[in-house]
Amino acid sequence: MINTRTPERAQNLIEQGATFKSSQEIANESDYIFLMLGHPQEVEDLLLNQNTGILQHMKKGALLIDHSTNKPSFGEKINQIAKQYELRTLDIPVSGAEIGAINGRLVSMVGGEKEDLKQIEEILSCYCIDISYMGKSGCGQHTKMANQMMIANTYIGIVEGLIYANKAGLRLDLMIEILKNGGAGSFLLKNQGYNTIERKFSVGFASDLFIKDVNLCLEEAKNLGLSLPGLAQASQLFMTLSEKGYGNLGPNGLLLIYEELNNTKIEGYEKCTESSCK
């Protein structure tokens, strides 16, 4: 059983045998419910809305699995409220972007009871290559916060490296081929390096969603009494990207800001692919 706010997006799954039902119907009938929503307020409304919230409709003993990226404190809050309805919860944000979801190669980070995780590991393994138990409720989200902090600064490093190398007259395709296997190598360089020099900025997920994650990270860092100047700078750069009308582009669209800042442009690689550029 599935539900989405845009039913046409579920057509492929329906054609493969899935049944489209209302969120309340799914709550009434399911032992396990998996969520994946873009914004914290959407999750809170789906779960806790006085009239339509699904927690009040779920079967006793059912398990709620939230794949959305949210505040760690929210995961703890939902867990406590769920207990009042005799329900169980796991916060399991994932990483791997669109390509990871399509290929069933996501990484999941789990907060909650380990025994509850054991019940759904077989299901998770259908689309996750790594399922790691991180601790009590909220710990999955804390891990995702650290993940997003690293991603934000990695994008800056990649874009700055490309801008520098381009100005220095290097072949960027050759540079990526070399560096992706060295100390600067990363998932993002391997998967987004070529996309960036080819000016493919719509791969992955929208920068506006990423800004939401970065701001959640800053809020949680503040709650822990931490000052993270690198992340604060990243937030400002991505906000600038959005303010200039590029919030629908992927985070590698940050290249456009650096090009404007330095009055330069990376071009000539539009037909480049990993195999043809070697």
Question: Is residue 265 annotated as a catalytic residue, yes or no?
Answer: no
Give the number of other CB atoms < 10 A from CB of residue 35: 18
Catalytic option among 144, 167, 265, 278: 144
Residues that are catalytic? 144
